[in-house]
């Protein structure tokens, strides 16, 4: 979903290219990746050792004519990526040992007794270097992923993080049949802060707002900045009554944010309680976005709350 805010186009769905949906969570590769990511390091090492043992037997059966380097690299890369540096190095050593034993059992003749040991050292160095490179790449990938989910201004979650967590909550709500709520906040008259005090002051206010909103919610709740002065709050397993209580806490937290010019911050808030989860995060955001605009049209510091999928639908506008 793309919105225009203050003349700037903001992409509320950074995980999707407009018109192209990339879905890997339901694929076999996605499920395998999730399973491997959950395995503890000792379990990954055991998996790697089993693979190495199988490769060693195949190496012995096929003889010395075929080089098995690429095959020994596979478990090293796998364990180093999901387990880290030391599990990867362990599998590298195991792979080198299996390779050396396969050569020794094949009784291959060398021109000098030291050649198999020299080869073993070189193989070990190659496998350990690959393991170290993969482990470092994994760490860099994890850091980039974390930074990609962090709002550069407030330091809190951004739109990407919200899409990931909200998508997971939709899946959980379908599986376990529980409600959840979402609040969409647009700060009232925030443009005046930038116009009168400058953008640095405006940035400071946004950071204060993010901290204030997070401070009054549960640890399981998520406050994310989507764009400009717009924030979204995910309230897992929260029905209509808890959502109204949380909204009042959010309004109270905003009232404690007083910019340098002296007036208190307020927001137009749209709140949707989903008894049946929506089809997508885009549909979820569209619903609360409409409610936020309904609250804004009713005046500043307003709340529009709707319980969806209820028969008959209950709608409440809170001044």
**Tokens matching residue 166:** 């909200």
Residue environment code for 271-305, b if the CB has 16+ CB neighbours within 10 A, otherwise e: bbbbbebbebbbebbebbbebbebbbeeeebbbbb
Most confident of 16-20, 82-86, 104-108, 109-113: 82-86
Name the one residue in this structure whose structure tokens are 């990526």.
81
| Residue-level pLDDT at 194 | 84
> Which pLDDT band, with edges at 50, 70 and 90, does 94 fall under?
very high
Q: Dihedrals φ, ψ of 44, to 5°?
A: -65, -40
| Whether residue 25 has pLDDT greater than 90 | no
Task: At 155, list the tokens.
Answer: 């330091």
What is residue 237's three-state secondary structure?
coil
168-207 exposure pattern, b = at least 16 Cβ within 10 A, e = fewer? ebbeebeeeebbbbbbbbbbbebeebbeeeeeeebebbbb
Helices (H), 153-279: 159-176, 190-197, 199-215, 240-255
d(CA 18, CA 16): 6
Give residue 300's pLDDT: 83
What pLDDT is recorded for position 277? 94
Q: Mean pLDDT, the chain, as a whole number?
A: 83
CA quadruple 15, 17, 21, 24: dihedral sign: negative
Q: Say how far apart CA 100 and CA 144 lie, in whole Å.
A: 38
pLDDT at 182 over 90: yes
Task: For residue 43, name the pLDDT band (cuts at 50, 70, 90).
Answer: very high
Q: Which part of the chain is CATH 3.30.70.270? A: 2-19+152-318
Largest CA distance in the chain: 91
User: What is the pLDDT averaged over residues 32-39?
Assistant: 84
pLDDT score at 310: 59
* Residue entry with tokens 């008894």: 275
Q: 17 pLDDT exceeds 70?
A: no
- pTM confidence score: 0.66
| Between residues 158 and 317, the one the model is more confident about | 158
Instruction: Output phi, psi for 36, to 5 deg.
Output: -65, -35
- Summarised one tens digit per residue, pLDDT across range 112-171 is 777 777 888 888 999 999 999 999 999 888 888 777 889 989 999 999 999 999 999 999
User: Between residues 174 and 19, which one has the greater pLDDT?
Assistant: 174
Of 23-27, 46-50, 212-216, 265-269, where does mean pLDDT reach its minimum? Answer: 23-27
Q: Among the residues of the chain, which ranges form H helices?
A: 28-38, 41-62, 69-83, 85-105, 115-148, 159-176, 190-197, 199-215, 240-255, 281-297
pLDDT of residue 49 exceeding 90, the answer is yes
pLDDT digits (tens, 9 = 90+) for 264-312: 889 999 999 999 999 999 999 999 999 999 999 988 889 999 998 754 4
Check pLDDT > 60 for residue 186: yes
The dotted CATH code for 2-19+152-318 is 3.30.70.270
């Amino acid at each position: 979903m793309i919105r225009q805010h203050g003349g700037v186009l903001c992409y509320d769905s950074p995980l999707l290219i407009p018109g192209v949906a990339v879905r890997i969570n339901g694929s076999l590769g996605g499920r395998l990746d999730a399973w491997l990511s959950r395995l503890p390091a000792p379990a990954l090492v055991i998996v790697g050792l089993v693979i190495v043992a199988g490769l060693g037997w195949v190496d012995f059966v096929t003889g010395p004519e075929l080089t098995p380097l690429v095959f020994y690299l596979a478990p090293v890369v796998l364990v180093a990526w999901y387990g880290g540096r030391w599990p990867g190095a362990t599998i590298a050593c195991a792979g080198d040992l299996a390779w050396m034993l396969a050569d020794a059992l094949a009784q291959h003749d060398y021109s000098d007794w030291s050649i198999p040991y020299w080869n073993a050292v070189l193989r070990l160095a190659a496998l350990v270097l690959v393991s170290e490179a993969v482990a470092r790449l994994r760490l860099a990938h994890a850091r980039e992923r974390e930074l990609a989910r962090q709002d550069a201004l407030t330091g809190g979650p951004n739109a990407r993080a919200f899409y990931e967590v909200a998508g997971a909550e939709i899946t959980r709500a379908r599986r376990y049949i529980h409600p959840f709520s979402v609040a969409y906040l647009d700060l009232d008259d925030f443009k005046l802060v930038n116009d009168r005090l400058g953008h640095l002051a405006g940035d400071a206010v946004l950071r204060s707002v993010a901290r204030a909103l997070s401070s009054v919610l549960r640890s399981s709740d998520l406050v994310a900045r989507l764009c400009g002065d717009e924030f979204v709050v995910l309230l897992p397993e929260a029905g209509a009554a808890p959502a109204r209580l949380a909204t009042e806490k959010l309004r109270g937290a905003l009232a404690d944010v007083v910019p340098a010019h002296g007036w208190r911050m307020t927001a137009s808030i749209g709140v949707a309680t989903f008894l049946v989860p929506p089809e997508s995060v885009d549909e979820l955001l569209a619903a609360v976005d409409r409610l936020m605009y309904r609250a804004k049209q009713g005046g500043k510091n307003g709340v529009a709350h709707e319980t969806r999928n209820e028969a008959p639908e209950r709608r409440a506008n809170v001044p």
